[in-house]
């Protein structure tokens, strides 16, 4: 069977761990040529992901940028990726950009400080916006932009108001950009994971009652695995999803439908 991402060049933010890492491994299995593994604070995890990708026969490079720095970090990441792509492929161009890195603090309206709010928006919205801006002219025709959002834009999340709204902004951006990129056959879509088994949730999912509550959200009565979400991202990255753009694709396991 032919691979769906043969020789594609991809950059995935926050791919040292969790959903981003699973997407990077899935891309490698589908034949991707080069994958940029972005991270913020965890070089060991990023290097481990690079090694696992290389073991699958793809090239990978770890790229550090602290997205709390918003636009500046996005441009720094793009510059690093461009250099790595030129060194590896002879061209600065890429096929697939996945804005996946994010934080999801459970902070109520009342407890959200200005500093925490700015940090959340910088990582979850400002950095993706400017990374798309920085990369735009280098995304090849028929390329892909995939933004990782959250099911909390569909299901009310009083525990995470600022987080849900930061992802709402990312989804609105997804819709707004689709016509412009469509002229070059590039699709722009958002993926909405539900509760997924990653470091982000490890602490609270360790409590049996909380886990049971999380499992009950999905019609499949379980918590999502990273590959459940990564497979949806991979579909959107592939030619199979060429006719889908400007969309929010739910990957919550039918949570609260
Ligand atoms: N897990 C879920 O249940 C769930 C549900 C809905 C939506 N999502 C969304 O899915 C995406 C991935 O979540 P995840 O659960 O896979 O997260 P995770 O396991 O906590 O991993 C987060 C990733 O983002 C990077 N990152 C975090 N803060 C950063 C910063 N300041 N600068 C640069 N990189 C930073 C991390 O890099 P380091 O390794 O260097 O720290 C890591 O690669 C996020 O956008 C999240 O909002 C997750």
| Predicted pLDDT at 2 | 84
Ligand 1 binding pocket mutation candidate from 14, 116, 123, 155 (most atoms within 8 A of CB): 14
Asked if residue 222 has pLDDT above 70, the reply is: yes
Residue 148 belongs to some domain of the structure: yes
Ligand 1 mean position to 212 CA, how many Å? 23
170-178 average pLDDT score: 99
Residue 3 belongs to some domain of the structure: no
User: Which residue has the CA at smallest separation from atom 34 of ligand 1?
Assistant: 40
Which atom number of ligand 1 is nearest to the Cα of residue 15? Answer: 43
Percent of the chain with pLDDT over 90: 99
Residue 1 belongs to some domain of the structure: no
1 — pLDDT class (breaks 50, 70, 90): low
187-198 average pLDDT score: 98
Which atom number of ligand 1 is nearest to the Cα of residue 46? Answer: 39
CATH code of the domain in which 72 resides: 3.40.50.720
- CB of 119 closer than 6 angstroms to any ligand 1 atom: no
Q: What is the pLDDT of residues 73-91, one digit of tens each?
A: 999 999 999 999 999 999 9
Residue 191 belongs to some domain of the structure: yes
Residue 4 belongs to some domain of the structure: no
Q: What is the pLDDT of residues 101-146, one digit of tens each?
A: 999 999 999 999 999 999 999 999 999 999 999 999 999 999 999 9
User: Which residue has the CA at smallest separation from atom 42 of ligand 1?
Assistant: 14
93-108 average pLDDT score: 98
Ligand 1 binding pocket mutation candidate from 19, 81, 202 (most atoms within 8 A of CB): 19
151-163 average pLDDT score: 97
Ligand 1 mean position to 101 CA, how many Å? 4
16-43 average pLDDT score: 98
Contact (Cβ atoms closer than 8 angstroms) between residue 80 and residue 140? no
- Domain span at residue 114 reads 9-251
Residue 223 belongs to some domain of the structure: yes
Total domains present in the chain: 1
- CB of 157 closer than 6 angstroms to any ligand 1 atom: no
Catalytic residues: 163
237-253 average pLDDT score: 98
**Rounded Cα distance, 5 and 228, in Å:** 18
- CB of 101 closer than 6 angstroms to any ligand 1 atom: yes
Measured at the alpha carbon of residue 77, what is the angle toward residues 198 and 243, in degrees to the nearest 5? 70
Asked if residue 211 has pLDDT above 70, the reply is: yes
Chain centre to alpha carbon of residue 246: 16
Residue 241 belongs to some domain of the structure: yes
Site of tokens 């910088």: 122
Between helices 43-55 and 18-29, what is the axis angle to 10°? Answer: 20
pTM for the structure as a whole: 0.99
Asked if residue 18 has pLDDT above 80, the reply is: yes
Residue 2 belongs to some domain of the structure: no
Average pLDDT, the chain: 98
Within 10 angstroms of residue 26's Cβ, the number of other Cβ atoms is: 23
């Amino acid at each position: 069977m032919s691979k769906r991402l043969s020789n594609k060049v991809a950059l995935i933010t926050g791919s040292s761990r969790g959903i981003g890492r699973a997407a990077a491994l899935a891309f490698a299995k589908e034949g991707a040529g080069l994958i940029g593994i972005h991270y913020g604070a965890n070089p060991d995890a990023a290097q481990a992901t690079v090694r696992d990708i290389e073991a699958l026969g793809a090239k990978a490079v770890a790229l550090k940028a602290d997205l709390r720095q918003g636009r500046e970090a996005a441009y720094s990441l793009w510059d690093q990726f461009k250099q790595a792509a030129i060194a590896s492929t002879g061209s600065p161009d890429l096929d697939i950009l996945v804005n996946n890195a994010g934080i999801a603090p459970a902070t109520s309206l009342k407890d959200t400080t200005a500093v925490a709010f700015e940090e959340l928006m910088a990582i979850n919205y400002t950095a993706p916006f400017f990374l798309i801006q920085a990369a735009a002219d280098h995304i090849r025709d028929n390329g892909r932009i995939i933004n990782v959002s959250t099911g909390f834009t569909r299901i009310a999340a009083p525990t995470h108001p600022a987080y849900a709204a930061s992802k709402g902004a990312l989804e609105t951006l997804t819709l707004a950009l689709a016509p412009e990129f469509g002229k070059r056959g590039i699709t722009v879509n958002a993926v909405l994971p539900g509760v997924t088994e990653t470091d982000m949730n490890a602490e609270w999912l360790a409590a049996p009652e909380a886990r049971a509550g999380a499992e009950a959200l999905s019609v499949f009565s379980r918590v999502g695995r990273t590959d459940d979400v990564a497979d949806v991202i991979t579909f959107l990255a592939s030619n199979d999803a060429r006719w889908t753009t400007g969309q929010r694709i739910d990957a919550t396991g039918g949570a609260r439908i």
